[in-house]
Amino acid sequence: MTAKSFASTGDMTEKQISFTEVGPDLYAFTAQGDPNTGVIVGEDACMVFDAQATPAMAQGVIERVRKVTDKPIKYVVLSHYHAVRVLGASAYKAQGIVASSETARLIAERGKQDWDSEYGRFPRLFRDAESIPGLTWPNLAFTGEMTVNLGKREVRLMQLGAGHTSGDIVAFVPDAQVMFTGDLIEYHSACYCGDAYLREWPGTLNEIREFRPRAVAPGRGDALVGATQVNEAIGMTRDFVTSLYGVAEMSVARGRTLKESMAATREIMDPKFGAFAIYEHCLPFNVSRAYDEASGVDDPVIWTAERDRDMWAALQG
C-alpha cells in the first residue's frame, strides 16, 4: 500500500475559480473545494467575507470584484481564525477588519501555531507566503451581533453558535435573504473538525436554517442557490459531523484506542464522504478532535506543525 502524502502536500493542482452571483450584488468566489470568499456590494462600499491565505491569493478576489464594481472594499470580515481564511486580509486595505471577540481571543492564543500548522499542511494555498505581513488582527470585534450598513444595504454579522470553531460568525443580508456561513456549511467537501465543537455544531446549523436563506456561500464547495440546494448542504454537513462524533462517542464508551476509533470511523464515513474534497487530509485531525471531545476534552488542543506530523504518522501512516 502506498503511503499517503502528508495532509494536502501532494495536492498541487491549481483549481478552477468561479465567481457566482448568489443574490443582487452578492457573490461567491469558489475554487473546487478550496476556501471560498464572499463579496457583498452595497450602495457606497463593499464587504469581503473571508480573506484567503495570502495577499497574493487575495488579489484574485480583488480582480473579480473590480469586474463588477469600483466601490471601495471597506470591510473584511473573518468568519473564524484559521490562517487560510485570514492571512490575506492586508491586500484589501480595508478600513475595518471585523471578527467575533472569541476569534480575536483565539488569534492571540493560537494564531501563530495555526499559521505554521496550516502552511505545512497545504502549501499550495499559501502562494507568495512572504507577502504575509504577520497575523491578521481585527480592529472591530463584537459578541453576539453587529450590524454594518453599506449605504442602504444592511449586513447582519452574527454568532449563531459554535461549530467549526468557538468563534464562528455568519453574515446575513436581509434584503436578499442570502447568508455567508464560512466553514459552518460545506458542500461536497469534508468538514475540517480539528478545532470543532461537534456536539454544538448541529444546533448552530438549526439556527442557520431558521433564516430560510435563499442562497448560501459555504466555506468550501459550490455556491448554493435555492432552498433545495441550501437544505441539501445543511443536511450533508449535519450528517458529516454527527457521523464523526457518533463513532467517537461509541469508541470511547467501548474503550477503543484512538487508532481503533480511526478504523471504526472509516467504516461509517468512507462510503458516504470518501470522495469529498480534502477528506483524507482532514480525517486524522477530525478523529482526534472527536475522540477528545467524547472523552471530555472540551476545548480543542492547539495544533502545531510537530503535532500534525505525529498525528498523521499515528493514524494515516
Assign 8 a pLDDT band (cuts: 50, 70, 90). Answer: low
CB neighbours of 254 closer than 8 A, spacing ≥ 6?
A: none
Tell me the average pLDDT across 116-134: 93
Using only C-alpha atoms, the chain has a radius of gyration, in whole angstroms, of 18
pLDDT at residue number 10? 75
pLDDT category at 13 given cuts 50, 70, 90 is confident
Residue 300 has pLDDT above 60, yes or no: yes
The rounded mean pLDDT for the chain is 95
CA–CA dist 177, 218 (Å, integer): 15
Using DSSP, state whether 16 is helix, strand or coil: coil
DSSP state of 232: H
First-to-final CA distance of the chain: 10
**What pLDDT shows up at residue 306?**
94
Strands 26-31 and 18-23: antiparallel
Q: What is the set of domains in the chain, with CATH numbers?
A: 18-315 (3.60.15.10)
Q: pLDDT tens digits for 187-243?
A: 999 999 999 999 999 999 999 999 999 999 999 999 999 999 999 999 999 999 999
The crossing angle, in degrees rounded to 10, of helices 227-253 and 258-273 is 160
Measured between alpha carbons, how far is residue 179 from residues 39, 197, 285 in Å? Answer: 11, 21, 28
- Note whether 265 and 287 are within 8 A (CB): yes
* pLDDT value for 2: 45
C-alpha 37/C-alpha 220 separation (Å) is 9
∠ CA 281-287-292, rounded to 5°: 135
In this prediction the pTM is: 0.96
- pLDDT tens string 262-285: 999 999 999 999 999 999 999 999
24-58 pLDDT, tens digit each: 999 999 987 789 999 999 999 999 999 999 999 99
Alpha-carbon span 98 to 277, nearest angstrom: 28
